[in-house]
Amino acid sequence: MDVYTTSFTYPRRSRHIHSSASSLDCQAPELRAATHPDSYGAQHHLQHAASTLSDASVTSDTDAIQKLVMMAMSLHGCHVSYFLADQGRGWNFHITGAYQQVMITRGLILKECPIQHRSAIKVTRSEILDSPFSKPTLKPDVRRRLDDIASQTLAHIAVVNSPLSLSNRTPPDGISSSAGWSGLETERVCELVVTGSEDSVDLARVRLLVMLDELSGLHSEFCEIDQKLHAIVAGKKRSVLQSIQEETATNIYFPSPLQGLMGPDLSAASLSPGTTRTNRVIWITGEFFGVQRARDMLYQCSLNKGKSVISRDTAILPRKLDWMVTDRAEDLKSIMSDNATFIQFPALGSSTSLITVYGDHRVNIQRTIRSIMQLACQYYVGSFWLLPIQFNALLPPTTLNSSAVTTLLKQISMATGAEVVFKSMCFEMHGLEHEVRSAVGTVLELDVIKAFHHEIRFQIELSNEHREFISGKKNGKINKIMQTTNVKIKFETFNDHNFLIDIAGPDNSVLQGLTLLQEELPAEISFHVPETYHKRIIGVGGRSIQRIMKKYGVYVKFSNAEEFAALGGYNDNDDNVVARTPAKNAINLDNLKQSVMELVNPKDKDYVDETVSIPRRYHRTLLGEKSIFIHDIETKTNSRVRFPDKETASDIVTIFGPESQVQIAAAMLLDHVPFEADMAVPPSADLPRICSTPEFNALVERVKRELQVSIVPNVKAIGHANGSPSSEMPSEFSFKFRCQRSNSDFLITAREMLEQFLLNHNVHVYPSPTAHTHKRGDSFAEAFPHFDSKVLSTARTRGHESMDMGRSDVIGDRRLRLANSSPDVKALFNSPAYIYNLEEQEDPDTNYISGPPGPAVDYWTHLPPIGSGIPHRTRHSEDAIKRGSDSLLEAKLKEQISKPRSFQNRAQSLDLTFSLSRITETSNLPPPDSPTTSTGDTGGNSSPNSATAPSFPSVYGPPVTPRSAVIGSSAQRSGRPLDEEAVDEVSRVISNLGL
């Protein structure tokens, strides 16, 4: 009996799977020190510190592996040894015995090996924790549900601090932490980390997502549909499923299409009453009637599709099938999703080579098989035959020592990552190209094989459509390689879609021949070009495209509507152009694509995927209530919005469209996304009472009406005993601000109004970092308010702008922006809010700024919080001094202060004839003395020009100064007695016109 020996490492290096230990390394002391434990498992409900759990998980893995190996040996009569590999991230198994028994044992180990998969779900801390701010403990109901899910799915569930625990999203664009944003923080999040076998993790993740939906008040139900129909019902790229979710405003969670292939069999009875198979269950959550409609639509669709399902079988090498299921699971899922098909795989390690593809359309099935075959081409097979140096029928053939072979196989498998087999004096290597090549090179260097002749073979799989491409004219390419390297290359038919290339030779020349052959393998790129452009790009008689092809040495194929429909697309469903070239010329593929795309209108070219992160909990609303806006965005930007599969718990929304439009579509989409932030306040016994007063309600209504920001108090009286706060009152007091993301400019204004209200009612708030720290203004940098310069420090931040925009007289037109190229006309007539500040009671201490006159004008005083009852504008201190000398102007100003802003701005007369005539009269006076004869005692000549107003040269006087200085002192400086009241009236009216 021939002895068959195989050695392989599992999981392979190409996979990045975290063990259960690593999933808990990020636990913060805050959660670890909780009163209740923060880990829930199927068997151990009480876990302690993360370090203890890490050690325990490694030990339990070793115990589980040992049990599995003992069971395999007793069942199938093979010898199995194992040890840690790949720096503790995997296990190397060595199996020896008869061929059939070894393959069955290998399959058992692949399926049952306790490899820990890991998945994390971000969740707002307040949803599952009793006290999200201090000493967090799980809510009793959540604890019970987590225990149930963990025991039913055999997964381990842990609640850990997210690396993004302080903020799950960055502040809106342009709002920096120095601009007052730090007073508000986005929601704190934690993570539900699920670890276990792949099937267990997939099941537990869906159950957890359903649980979170139920906690937020949604109704949930499940329905059973045959697993083969899931992808067919969902449609290509799940388009039908997205339309059902859109119409019914529900979340629909599908099971994994690979459910049941890996991991222990999960008893369906414990998962949900009445179910027969876990891979049939589809969960639906939403409003009650929406859930009923969605379930009926799914059933109806499955009945219709079930009548038209067709299937096709195809053969693939068994080891390639095992590799796909264990290493390329995500690729398989995306192939099924893209083509609305289901692929039925045989059990792992079963040595069965047949797969069955189910679909409702022949094109979809063909495209699925092509994609699978393309995936199979990545997996190589190499063999190293040991031949006796001289043949003698009387002497037994030379053989290798079995113990030496065992050691060799382990070493080669560990070093290269390939699966290495030894049988009948032949080493076989299975794996990716670099792994097989490395393994053959390692065997070549061994001393024990020097006593043998040897022959090396590589087997490459390739699509039939590339057969002529690689052989060349009259097999020219192949003949040249064979002559150059002295190797034999032969083509063998394998199945309807792929053929095999065998390359064989006696020594290192095979590796050289393989390299040359790989350089001739086709590299391709596919993309989308609207069919209306095809004829223009191809040109008369194909001249234009032939010129481009000849320039770059690349073959291009344009598919018209009929060919595209028969093909179903190339690498992506929407691709209708493919370009191929030998791998050695692959660098020119991009150049060719650019040349073709130059002939396409920007709004139609370079279709790309743009990703936008939108919190998962908003997806249902966006798909449901906001679907009309999403369709409008798609129409305007010629793009498509694709929401992630619900069961993945992903926040990433994909927008597919022309490169010039997807950014616009993303910005438009974000305008419909709510933005939430919290403002924490110190504990106070008066807060619950204040939040229930009519004054607070009036403030909330005013903020909502004027700024479109809603404020909701979150006051939890935990720690109160008998109505009085206890000594250890937790920080459970916060206010939630909600608005649309496009409205986030006004969050700071809303926060300031709330802070002022609380301070007026003797409730302390945490000091804002920017409350009293206005710095000296950089007047030079302010000259460029619309430019984002890395050279100039930006004095006027977005935060200041939002304060200015928060004034009620510009709420109606807050999105107005001046063109970058135009001068800042508004600055000439109406300086920003932080330059002026009219105060009800002028206090010399606050208005006068110590220091020499001149440069001191560039300072401004702190702007009181908007909505505090104090009017917004203060003039500069220098203006205040000069204003005191004009009693008429002072009286006029006080009259303006006494009026509410709404009355000031309600009705403005645009008839400026009287005011302008008064200015004209004063301007008819003779010009002042030349600046050269000036005495210099003009009260402000030394102050620098403000960069907010452009300087215009004048033959009569010094350059124009800022308006704040002009109004207060231009009459004194120039000797021209302008009518102060008239100038003020004109300026105010022009400013209110919003120029």
Q: What is the pLDDT of residues 630-677, one digit of tens each?
A: 999 999 998 999 999 999 999 999 999 888 889 999 989 988 888 888
The beta strand positions in 258-301, using DSSP E, are 281-286
Rounded to the nearest integer, the mean pLDDT of the chain is 74
Please tell me which residue, 690 or 872, carries the higher pLDDT value: 690
Predicted pLDDT at 439: 93
Burial of 790 by CB count in 10 Å (0-12 exposed, 13-18 middle, 19+ buried)?
A: exposed
The amino acid at residue 879 is D
Q: Which of 662, 620, 672, 618 is nearest to 641 (CA)?
A: 662
Distance of alpha carbon 837 from alpha carbon 854, whole angstroms = 19
pLDDT surpassing 80 at residue 972: no
Predicted pLDDT at 963: 43
Distance of alpha carbon 418 from alpha carbon 434, whole angstroms = 9
Strand-pair category, 342-344 with 354-359: antiparallel
Predicted pLDDT at 687: 85
Q: In b/e form, how buried is each residue of 697-710, taking b as 16+ CB within 10 angstroms?
A: eebbeebeebbbbb
Predicted pLDDT at 717: 53
Report which listed range, 428-442, 719-733, 765-779, is most confident.
Answer: 428-442
Please tell me which residue, 342 or 724, carries the higher pLDDT value: 342
Mean pLDDT along residues 390-419: 78
The amino acid at residue 706 is E
**C-beta atoms surrounding 856 within 10 Å:** 16
Angle between helices 509-520 and 476-485 (to 10 degrees): 160
Mean pLDDT along residues 334-356: 91
Burial of 315 by CB count in 10 Å (0-12 exposed, 13-18 middle, 19+ buried)?
A: middle
634 to 328, 394, 569, 837: CA distances (angstroms): 32, 81, 21, 46
Distance of alpha carbon 165 from alpha carbon 159, whole angstroms = 12
pLDDT surpassing 80 at residue 988: no
Burial of 815 by CB count in 10 Å (0-12 exposed, 13-18 middle, 19+ buried)?
A: exposed
Strand-pair category, 219-224 with 189-196: unpaired
Domains present along the chain, CATH in parentheses: 379-520 (3.30.310.210), 524-582 (no CATH), 607-670 (3.30.1370.10), 674-760 (3.30.1370), 781-906 (no CATH), 913-992 (no CATH)
pLDDT surpassing 80 at residue 566: yes
Q: Which contacts qualify for 944-949: CB closer than 8 Å, 24 or more apart? A: 944/779, 944/854, 944/855, 944/858, 945/779, 946/779, 946/782, 946/858, 947/779, 947/780, 947/781, 947/782, 947/783, 948/779, 948/782, 948/783, 948/824, 948/827, 948/831, 948/832, 949/827, 949/828
Task: Confirm if 161 and 28 have CB atoms less than 8 A apart.
Answer: yes
pLDDT surpassing 90 at residue 112: no
Q: And the tokens for 845?
A: 């201490």
Mean pLDDT along residues 253-276: 69
Give Rg (Cα) of the chain: 37
Task: Confirm if 433 and 517 have CB atoms less than 8 A apart.
Answer: no
The lowest-confidence range among 17-26, 309-318, 898-907 is 17-26
pLDDT band at residue 178, thresholds of 50, 70 and 90?
very low
pLDDT band at residue 431, thresholds of 50, 70 and 90?
very high
- DSSP 8-state assignment for residue 74: H
Predicted pLDDT at 357: 96
Distance of alpha carbon 836 from alpha carbon 990, whole angstroms = 16
Which pTM value belongs to this model? 0.70
Q: What are the φ/ψ torsions at residue 328 (nearest 5 degrees)?
A: -120, 40
* Angle made by CA atoms 27, 28, 34, in degrees to the nearest 5: 95
Predicted pLDDT at 163: 63
**827 Cα distance to chain centroid:** 40
Task: Confirm if 63 and 55 have CB atoms less than 8 A apart.
Answer: no
156 to 40, 54, 329, 949: CA distances (angstroms): 6, 13, 21, 65
Q: Which of 51, 73, 55 is nearest to 63 (CA)?
A: 55
Task: Confirm if 785 and 835 have CB atoms less than 8 A apart.
Answer: no
Q: Which of 152, 146, 167, 159 is nearest to 120 (CA)?
A: 159
Expressed in angstroms, the distance from the first to the final Cα of the chain is 95
968 to 75, 824, 837, 886, 986: CA distances (angstroms): 100, 22, 15, 10, 15
Predicted pLDDT at 838: 35
Mean pLDDT along residues 200-218: 94
713 to 260, 682, 704: CA distances (angstroms): 48, 13, 14
What contacts 36, CB < 8 A, 6 or more positions away? 137, 138, 143
Distance of alpha carbon 57 from alpha carbon 51, whole angstroms = 10
- DSSP 8-state assignment for residue 185: B
**C-beta atoms surrounding 455 within 10 Å:** 16
Task: Confirm if 36 and 59 have CB atoms less than 8 A apart.
Answer: no
pLDDT band at residue 823, thresholds of 50, 70 and 90?
very low
Note the helical H segments in 417-568: 433-444, 467-471, 476-485, 509-520, 534-538, 543-552, 561-567
